[in-house]
Structure 1
Amino acid sequence: MTSNERKKQLILHAEEVFSKVKEYQDMGLICKDGDFVPSVHYPPITRYPDTNADECLKDFEYPADGFMDVYVHIPFCIRHCLFCHYPGKTGECRDEKEKYVSYLIREIDLYLKRFNIEKLKPRSILLGGGTPTYLPPQLFDHLLEELGKRMDMSCCKQYNVDHDPNSIIGEEGEQRLKIMKKHGITRLTIGIQSLDDDVLKVMNRSHNAEQAEEAVRKAVEYGFDVNIEFIYGHPGETIDNWIEVMDRAVRLPVGEIQIYRLKVQAYGDRQGKINTYEGGRQGTAIPDFKTTMMMKQIAIDILNENGYHETLRRVYAKDKRVFSHYAYNQCCNMYDQVGFGLTGFSSYHDRFDINSQYFDEYYSKIDSGELPITRGCRRSREEQIRQAIILPLKNRSVIKSDFLRKTGVNFDDVFQKKTETLKKYGLIEDNGKVVKLTEIGGFLADEVCEQYNSNMYKPFPRENFADGPLNPYLDNELSE
C-alpha cells in the first residue's frame, strides 16, 4: 500500500467513526457544539466548596494498611503554554523555587504530624506540575533527598516524574537524569505535545521536535520507562500534519504513548489563553469538532497498527502491564491518595481536598502551622456510588464485586434505566461480573461516564444537548 493509499484509508475510517459520533450527538449524548469536559474526578475538581484542613479532615480515618499514593506538585515552567490551565510561575525565579521547595517539605511534615505517622508508605509517587525538572539540579536533588527521608519506599511500585523535553537534555538535563536515577525514579512522562515545529510554536512550547526526540533517546538510554504525551485538536494541527506526527511518534523507542484532546475552558485553577485564541496566521484556528474527532481515530488506528493498545483510557502501550500505577490506583481502585504543593489534591476513600492556588496563601497557611487546604468536600452516599461507577468505567471497567465492597450496594440495583439505555445503544457491555465501555463507548468515554454525574455536576445545561434518548439528564435518579 502506498503512503497516499494508507492516508486515504485512515481518513475514510475516521470519517466512518465520526458518522457514528454524529448519530450519538443527535441522540443527546454529546454537547450540541461538540465541547467536552474531561471526566477526571468526581465531583468535578472545579466545583468544590471552600473549606479548611480542620473542617475537611475531621474524623478522617487513615487507611488501615497505612498506604497512600502520593502526588507532589511543582508549579514552575519556562513559559506558559497556550493550552495550560494550571497556575504557576515562569522564568528562572530561583529564589522563589528555593522558597517553595522549603515550604513543600514543611507541608509534608505538617501532614505527618497531623496523622501521627513517621513516614508515608506510598504505593506509587507522581511528581507533576508544572515542570518538576525545571528546578535547578542541586535544588531538585535536595527535594528528592528530603522526600526520600519522609517515605517508606519498600512497597512503592512506581516512581513517576513529568517533564518537558528540554529539561532533560544538555548539561543540566544530564545532571537531572543522573539525579533521578540515584533517587530510584522509574518512569518518566515527557510532554512532547507535537512533533511538528510549526504547531509547537503555536502552542508556545519551549522545545522543538528534534529536542523532543533527543529527550526520549536520553531517557531510554538511562533505563527509564518512558511515556510520551500528545495533544490533538490544537490550533495549527491538521489531518495531514497529525498523521505525520503520529507516524513519527510510533517510531520512537518508547513503550507507552498517550493522547488527549485540547480543552478550551479551564478544568484547573487557571484559565489558559486558549479560550480567547482567534488564530494567528492562516490555518491556525482551533480545528472543528469533526476534524478533532477524526484526529483521535487516526491516532488510535496508527497506534494499533504499530502494536500499541489501550491500557488505561487514552493511554496506549505495547505491553498491557505497562501503565501508570498512580492513575490506576486513584481512578480504578480508588485507593487513598494524598497531594502536596500548590493546588495539590488529595483523593481519599470518602472525601477530596485541594490546596490553595495562590503562593502567598499557601505560604501563609504553612507559616501558621496549618495544612494549606482551601477547598474540598466529603462525598455523600450517593456521590460515593456515582464516583464508584464514573472513575473505574471511564478508565477501565466496573468490577461488580469491588463496587459492592466499596459502596455496600449492588451495581445492578442502581441507575437501572440509564444503564439499560446505554447498553441498548451499544455504549456499555455487561457480562454479569464486569461492566465496561464498548469500543465506541470508549471513544466517547467522557460523555458516556458523565451520564452518571448528578444533575448539579453535569458539564453543560440540559438545553446544550439534543432532546434524544441519550440526553444525560434523563433517568438520572439513583433508583435503588
Structure 2
Amino acid sequence: MVLFGGSQMNISSWVQRAKQEMQEIGVESIRDSGILPERGAKFFPVIGYPPLTMFSDMDQEPLFNNLQQRHERPLLGYAHIPFCPSRCTFCHWITKTKSKSEEVDMYLDYLEREMILYKQNMGVDAIPVQSVLIGGGTPTYPSAQQMERFMKMYTTHYDLSGCTQFSVEAEPGTLLGKDGYEKLRIMKDYGVDRISLGVQSFDDDILRYMGRVHTHAETLESIRNMRKAGIGNVFIDLIYGYPNQTVEMWAQHMLEAVSLDIEGYQLYRLRIKQHGDRQGNIIVQARKNPERFPETDEVLLMKYLGIMISEEHGFHEYQTRCFAKKPEYISHYLRDWAADLADVAGVGVSAWSTLRGVFAINVGDANLQNYYNLIDQGKVAINRGKMRTKDDELRRSFILPLKNMKVNKQQFTERTGETINNFFHNEVTWLKQLGLLAENDQDIWLTKLGKYFADEVATQFFNPDYMPFEDVMRAPAQIAVG
C-alpha cells in the first residue's frame, strides 16, 4: 500500500473508484455521442479564440492604429524569456538551450528596447497592468545579476501599482543552492508573489525521457528554497498521458502532489501535435514508439483521477485544469484574460498581445535574429495577428469564460450587443440535453461532466471555419425539446 497525505486508500482502490464514478457521470455516453474526435483519442486545447491557426501576416500597425478611439479593456502584462537548460520533448514553443551569458545579455538589451517601443506606441510613460506573467522558455534561467536587471527594467516600463499578482514560471534546477535563492530573493524584492514551477513528473526516469534535466529531489529542494525566500504562492505543473506512464503511477503522483507544501497545480494532458511556434519532438516518439504511449482509456482515467484526488484533498478546480486550496491562488493573469477577457501587452520573442479588438504575435525564431531585426527597425516585433470580427468577438465572449469558469448572460450582452439565446440557442440546448451544460437566469456553466470535457465542449461554439477536427458532430439545426 502506498500512502500520501493521510490517504487511507491504496492505489488500486483510487483507480477502481475513478472508473466507477466515470461510469456514473456518463463519460462513455459522451465518447459515443460523436462530439469527441476519435472518441477522445485526439483533443484540441482551447487556450484562446480565434485559434492561432487563423492568424495571418501582420505588423504592428493594426495593433496600435487609432488605439485611443477603440474600446478600452483592463490590461495585463506578459514577457517571454526563451532560454532553457534543455529542450523538452513535449515543448511546442521557441526556446534556446544552454545559452551563454552574453546571449542572455543581448536578449535583455533588445527586450528593454521593445518595452520602450511598446509604451511609446501606447502613448504612456509606463504600461499599467492589473496582473503579470513572465513566461518562457525558462524565465529563471538567467543569472541572479541578469534577473535583477530584468526585474528593474520590467517594473520601470510597466506600471504595477494596481497589480494584483506578479507570477513567474520557473524550472526546479534553476532555483537551487545560493544562486537559486538569490534569484528568488531578487524576484520577491521586486514584487513577485507567485511562482509556477515546471515539475511535469515526480519520476526521474520519465523526466529523463521528457528531456528534463532536474530530478524529483531537486523539485523538493527548489520548493524549500522558495519558501525560505518568502514566496507565498507556489504552483506546480504536471503532465499526464506521457510515454511509459501508467495509471497507477499517475495516481501515486497525484497523491504525492496533494501532500506537498504548495498552494496548487495545473494538470496538462500531453499535447503531441504542434500548437505553438515549433513542433515538439514528442511527435517523433509517437511515430517511432506508439506502444509506449498510454491508450485513450488510460489517459481519460488519468484525467479523472487528477480531478477526483484533488477534490478529495482540498484542491478545487477554480479554473479549468487549475486546482488550488483557495481561489486567489490561481494565476490572476490566466483568470483575467481567459475568464474576464482582459487585454494583454506582451513583449519578447513569440510573445502575444491583444489590444482593443486586435490580436498580435511576435516573431518566433530560435536564433532570435528576426526578432532583433524588427526592433532595430524601430518596431515592436510583431509578424502575425488578426483583427477580430464581430463573429470572433461573439464567440470569444462565450467560449473563454465558459471553458474557464462560467458565462454571465448580462456581461455577454454588454460586451457583444447580442443575447446568448439568439446566437447560441441550439448549441446550448443540445449540450444541456447531453448533460454538459447547465444554466439559470444569470449564468451558463459546465456541469461536472462538461468540465471533464471542457475543451471539447468549447469547440462546439467555434466558427465552422475554425474547427480543428472535421469528424465531430455539431448541434443539429433543429433541436427536439421535451
Per the normalisation by structure 2, the TM-score is: 0.93
- In the alignment, the residues of structure 1 paired with residue 133 and residue 262 of structure 2 have an alpha-carbon distance, to the nearest angstrom, of 19
> Partner of 2:149 in structure 1?
142
- In the alignment, the residues of structure 2 paired with residue 475 and residue 445 of structure 1 have an alpha-carbon distance, to the nearest angstrom, of 22
> Partner of 1:167 in structure 2?
174
User: C-alpha offsets along residues 387-412 of structure 1, whole Å, 9 cap, x if unaligned?
Assistant: 01110000000011111111111122
> Partner of 1:244 in structure 2?
252
- In the alignment, the residues of structure 1 paired with residue 414 and residue 330 of structure 2 have an alpha-carbon distance, to the nearest angstrom, of 25
CA shift, 1:425, in A, is 0.9
- In the alignment, the residues of structure 1 paired with residue 169 and residue 277 of structure 2 have an alpha-carbon distance, to the nearest angstrom, of 19
Aligned counterpart for 2:45 among listed residues 38, 47, 58: 38
Query: Aligned pair 1:27/2:41, yes or no?
Result: no
341-350 vs 382-391, which deviates more?
341-350
CA shift, 1:186, in A, is 0.6
- In the alignment, the residues of structure 1 paired with residue 259 and residue 288 of structure 2 have an alpha-carbon distance, to the nearest angstrom, of 31
> Partner of 2:364 in structure 1?
357
> Partner of 1:7 in structure 2?
11
- In the alignment, the residues of structure 2 paired with residue 329 and residue 347 of structure 1 have an alpha-carbon distance, to the nearest angstrom, of 13
Query: Aligned pair 1:127/2:131, yes or no?
Result: no
> Partner of 1:468 in structure 2?
none
Q: Secondary structure at the match of 2:236?
A: strand
- In the alignment, the residues of structure 1 paired with residue 408 and residue 275 of structure 2 have an alpha-carbon distance, to the nearest angstrom, of 28
Q: How does 1:12-91 map to 2 (within 5 A)?
A: 12-16=16-20, 18-19=22-23, 20-32=26-38, 34-61=41-68, 67-91=74-98
- In the alignment, the residues of structure 1 paired with residue 360 and residue 72 of structure 2 have an alpha-carbon distance, to the nearest angstrom, of 21
User: C-alpha offsets along residues 86-132 of structure 1, whole Å, 9 cap, x if unaligned?
Assistant: 01110032222111111010001001111211011110111000001
Counterpart amino acid of 2:45? P
- In the alignment, the residues of structure 2 paired with residue 297 and residue 336 of structure 1 have an alpha-carbon distance, to the nearest angstrom, of 32
CA shift, 1:66, in A, is 8.2
TM-aligned CA distance change 1:194 to 1:475, over 3 Å: farther
CA shift, 1:474, in A, is 4.6
Aligned residues of 1:311 and 1:322 also touching (Cα < 8 A): no
TM-aligned CA distance change 1:410 to 1:149, over 3 Å: same
185-194 vs 239-248, which deviates more?
239-248
Q: Secondary structure at the match of 1:342?
A: coil
Q: Secondary structure at the match of 1:415?
A: helix
> Partner of 1:108 in structure 2?
115
CA shift, 1:191, in A, is 0.7
Query: Aligned pair 1:255/2:263, yes or no?
Result: yes
- In the alignment, the residues of structure 2 paired with residue 47 and residue 328 of structure 1 have an alpha-carbon distance, to the nearest angstrom, of 23
> Partner of 2:447 in structure 1?
438
> Partner of 2:392 in structure 1?
383
15-24 vs 192-201, which deviates more?
15-24
Aligned counterpart for 1:369 among listed residues 368, 373, 378: 378
- In the alignment, the residues of structure 2 paired with residue 284 and residue 81 of structure 1 have an alpha-carbon distance, to the nearest angstrom, of 20
Q: Secondary structure at the match of 2:327?
A: coil
TM-aligned CA distance change 1:475 to 1:123, over 3 Å: farther
Aligned residues of 2:426 and 2:475 also touching (Cα < 8 A): no
> Partner of 2:228 in structure 1?
221
CA shift, 1:332, in A, is 0.8
- In the alignment, the residues of structure 2 paired with residue 291 and residue 18 of structure 1 have an alpha-carbon distance, to the nearest angstrom, of 12
TM-aligned CA distance change 1:240 to 1:373, over 3 Å: same
Q: Give the count of matched residue pairs.
A: 468
409-418 vs 36-45, which deviates more?
409-418
- In the alignment, the residues of structure 2 paired with residue 121 and residue 381 of structure 1 have an alpha-carbon distance, to the nearest angstrom, of 27
Counterpart amino acid of 1:345? W
Query: Aligned pair 1:399/2:401, yes or no?
Result: no
CA shift, 1:438, in A, is 0.1
- In the alignment, the residues of structure 1 paired with residue 69 and residue 201 of structure 2 have an alpha-carbon distance, to the nearest angstrom, of 42
CA shift, 1:414, in A, is 1.0
- In the alignment, the residues of structure 2 paired with residue 321 and residue 140 of structure 1 have an alpha-carbon distance, to the nearest angstrom, of 26
Counterpart amino acid of 2:295? D
Q: How does 1:267-346 map to 2 (within 5 A)?
A: 267-278=275-286, 285-346=292-353
- In the alignment, the residues of structure 2 paired with residue 31 and residue 169 of structure 1 have an alpha-carbon distance, to the nearest angstrom, of 42
Aligned residues of 1:68 and 1:122 also touching (Cα < 8 A): yes
CA shift, 1:286, in A, is 1.5
User: C-alpha offsets along residues 329-356 of structure 1, whole Å, 9 cap, x if unaligned?
Assistant: 1011101111110010012341211000
TM-aligned CA distance change 1:284 to 1:203, over 3 Å: farther
Counterpart amino acid of 1:392? P
> Partner of 2:242 in structure 1?
234
- In the alignment, the residues of structure 1 paired with residue 281 and residue 42 of structure 2 have an alpha-carbon distance, to the nearest angstrom, of 17
Counterpart amino acid of 1:27? S
CA shift, 1:285, in A, is 1.1
Aligned residues of 2:15 and 2:251 also touching (Cα < 8 A): no
255-264 vs 435-444, which deviates more?
255-264
User: C-alpha offsets along residues 266-308 of structure 1, whole Å, 9 cap, x if unaligned?
Assistant: 1100100111104999x97111111111011111121111111
- In the alignment, the residues of structure 2 paired with residue 171 and residue 321 of structure 1 have an alpha-carbon distance, to the nearest angstrom, of 30
Q: Secondary structure at the match of 1:210?
A: helix
Counterpart amino acid of 2:51? P
CA shift, 1:185, in A, is 0.6
- In the alignment, the residues of structure 2 paired with residue 280 and residue 367 of structure 1 have an alpha-carbon distance, to the nearest angstrom, of 43
CA shift, 1:65, in A, is 6.9
Gaps of 5+ in 1: 466-470
CA shift, 1:12, in A, is 2.1
Aligned residues of 1:334 and 1:349 also touching (Cα < 8 A): no
TM-aligned CA distance change 1:297 to 1:445, over 3 Å: same
Aligned residues of 1:344 and 1:354 also touching (Cα < 8 A): yes
- In the alignment, the residues of structure 2 paired with residue 472 and residue 172 of structure 1 have an alpha-carbon distance, to the nearest angstrom, of 54
- In the alignment, the residues of structure 1 paired with residue 192 and residue 2 of structure 2 have an alpha-carbon distance, to the nearest angstrom, of 43
Aligned residues of 1:279 and 1:286 also touching (Cα < 8 A): no
- In the alignment, the residues of structure 2 paired with residue 53 and residue 93 of structure 1 have an alpha-carbon distance, to the nearest angstrom, of 30
- In the alignment, the residues of structure 1 paired with residue 116 and residue 334 of structure 2 have an alpha-carbon distance, to the nearest angstrom, of 25
Q: Secondary structure at the match of 2:161?
A: helix
- In the alignment, the residues of structure 1 paired with residue 250 and residue 332 of structure 2 have an alpha-carbon distance, to the nearest angstrom, of 29
- In the alignment, the residues of structure 2 paired with residue 236 and residue 254 of structure 1 have an alpha-carbon distance, to the nearest angstrom, of 26
- In the alignment, the residues of structure 2 paired with residue 304 and residue 329 of structure 1 have an alpha-carbon distance, to the nearest angstrom, of 23
Per the normalisation by structure 1, the TM-score is: 0.93
> Partner of 1:347 in structure 2?
354
Q: Secondary structure at the match of 2:346?
A: strand
- In the alignment, the residues of structure 1 paired with residue 67 and residue 77 of structure 2 have an alpha-carbon distance, to the nearest angstrom, of 17
- In the alignment, the residues of structure 2 paired with residue 142 and residue 303 of structure 1 have an alpha-carbon distance, to the nearest angstrom, of 38
Query: Aligned pair 1:456/2:469, yes or no?
Result: no
TM-aligned CA distance change 1:240 to 1:6, over 3 Å: same
